Structure formats: C-alpha cells, structure tokens
Amino acid sequence: MLTAERAVSKAGLDAVALKPAECDVREALSVPLDVVAIDYEGRERLPDEDVLRDLAAEKEVRLTTPVRTDGFDPLGDDSLYEWLPDGVRQVLVAGHGAYLTDDEARRAVAPRLRAARERAPDAWVGTEGIERIALAAGGTQYELLSRSTRRDVRALRAAGFGGEVALYAPTALTDDDDEILDAVGAYVSRRRPVARALPDDAATDASAEGRAREVLLKAARDYALIGSVDDIRRRIDDLRDAGIDLVVGYPARGVDEFAE
C-alpha cells in the first residue's frame, strides 16, 4: 500500500465523478477539484434540487441526463428540464439500459441528442456506444478511458477535430494488487475485450487467481488510473499529449480518497 503523499490535487485531474447511489454528492465540496460530474443512476437517485444548487454555488456541476429517459427527453416528456437549477450544466448520454424502460430504450438517440444540444449547447456529450452520433452532435466529447484512447484521440486530432475531449477514468491511488482489484476489478471485467478474455465465472475482486487475476490487473492499467500520485500524473500528462483536454476521475475506493 502506498504511504507517500496522496493529494489528488497533485495528480493532474480536472474533475471528480460521483455516483449518487454510493455517496452524498455534497462530499464533492471536500474534493479540491473545480468540476463535479454526477452520474445518472435512475430518477429516484437524482440529487435534491437544493443539493445541486448548493454545489453549483461552489463548483461547476455537470449532471448526466439521458436523452431517452422520461423527464429528460427533449422530444417528449421534458419535465425535468424545468427542475434543473440554474447553473447546473449537463452531460448528455444515450442512457444505460439498466436505467431505461423498454419503451425508452426503443427511442431514437440521434434526433434527441441533436435537440438536447440545441437546448444546452455547452453540454458534454457522452460517446459510449454512440461514437459517430456523438461526434456529429458536436460539443465536448466525453470518452471512457480504454487501451486505445491515445491512438483514437491522436487520430481524431489528425483528422482535424478541434473540439474539446474529456475523459472519464476510474481512479485508485494505490499500487497494491489486491486493493486495485477490489477497487476496479468488477468495472474492468465488464469492458468487452476483458470479458472475452476472462475464464467463465471468474472472481473479479482481490480473490481472483491465476489467469483471471493476470487479465484483470493488466486491464486495470488500460481502463483505469492506478498507482501513486506521480504515476497517475505521468499517465495524465501522456493523455494530454495525445489530445485529451480534461480528465475526470471517479474515486473507485470512495470519495474520501480524493478529499483534502
């Protein structure tokens, strides 16, 4: 386990991503980063309006809003647009199937993303599963860190894309293998290339053994930011050299690790 300085403010991150099902998002106030991105985990998990307003008074707040879900559908039920407090910006996404009804999942993404961008031209656009549509919609492209991120972003820049690119990355300030697997093993196991490489029914936490442990630890270094503050800083500097503008860290071991 690392015993050196762990100040996240020295790691080069630009923003923190929080999941309202895991923590009180007001804990972002203890994180020394100016931007907080709040994930969408179902309508019942949306933070209270007062909480968002208090956060927005201190930080740039970006709330994830799935364009196909009732309440945030710009071509249908858009009632939650009126609910959004002033100053809260958006991250527009197609929406994870776990948080969509069957009817919502059948709705077309492209026209809704375009309409949502017209309403919120400063919104970030999540690219997962809709890369071409997101690029056509414009705005800050919000990517997930992967083993091909550097190559993909370099190619995007070489092709002439001059817009902003933000990157989401689970982050764990540790170099202990067991702690790494407990923090990000389950996450990386869901990435398609990793899932294909894993043995059937393999454990994904610190109890993983043999081939599964080897695959997961390698994947953790591809799909997450792990190691000491200096390790993560070097990785982020390398990503910036490739063309990434903003790096958003999700505190995979709990928001306390990011607090100062």
Q: Quick check: 173 and 229 in contact, CB under 8 A?
A: yes
Within 13 A of 139's CA, how many CA atoms are on the CB side?
27
- Separation of alpha carbons 62 and 37, rounded Å: 5
pLDDT at 260: 74
Beta-strand relationship, 124-126 and 140-144: parallel
Strands (E), the chain: 15-18, 35-38, 60-66, 88-93, 124-126, 140-144, 165-172, 225-226, 246-251
Does residue 137 surpass a pLDDT of 60? Answer: yes
pLDDT class of 1 with cuts at 50, 70, 90: very low
Q: What is the mean pLDDT of residues 121-141?
A: 96
Q: What is the mean pLDDT of residues 47-72?
A: 97
pLDDT at 81: 94
pLDDT at 145: 98
pLDDT tens-digit series, residues 154-200: 999 999 999 999 999 999 999 999 999 999 999 999 999 999 999 99
Q: Which fold has domain 8-173+228-253?
A: TIM Barrel (3.20.20)
φ/ψ of residue 122, rounded to 5: -95, 10
- Separation of alpha carbons 119 and 78, rounded Å: 11
- Separation of alpha carbons 134 and 114, rounded Å: 9
pLDDT class of 101 with cuts at 50, 70, 90: very high
Does residue 4 surpass a pLDDT of 60? Answer: no
- Separation of alpha carbons 58 and 69, rounded Å: 28
Strands (E), 207-258: 225-226, 246-251
pLDDT at 54: 96
Nearest to 169 by CA among 256, 94, 235, 228: 235
Which residues contact residue 188 at a Cβ distance below 8 angstroms, ignoring those fewer than 6 apart?
194, 204, 216, 219, 220, 222, 223, 224
- Separation of alpha carbons 146 and 23, rounded Å: 25
Domain ranges of the chain: 8-173+228-253, 176-226
Angle at 126 between CA 53 and CA 25, to 5 degrees: 30
pLDDT at 8: 86
Q: Round the average pLDDT of the chain to a whole number and report it.
A: 95
pLDDT class of 9 with cuts at 50, 70, 90: confident
Angle at 202 between CA 248 and CA 227, to 5 degrees: 35
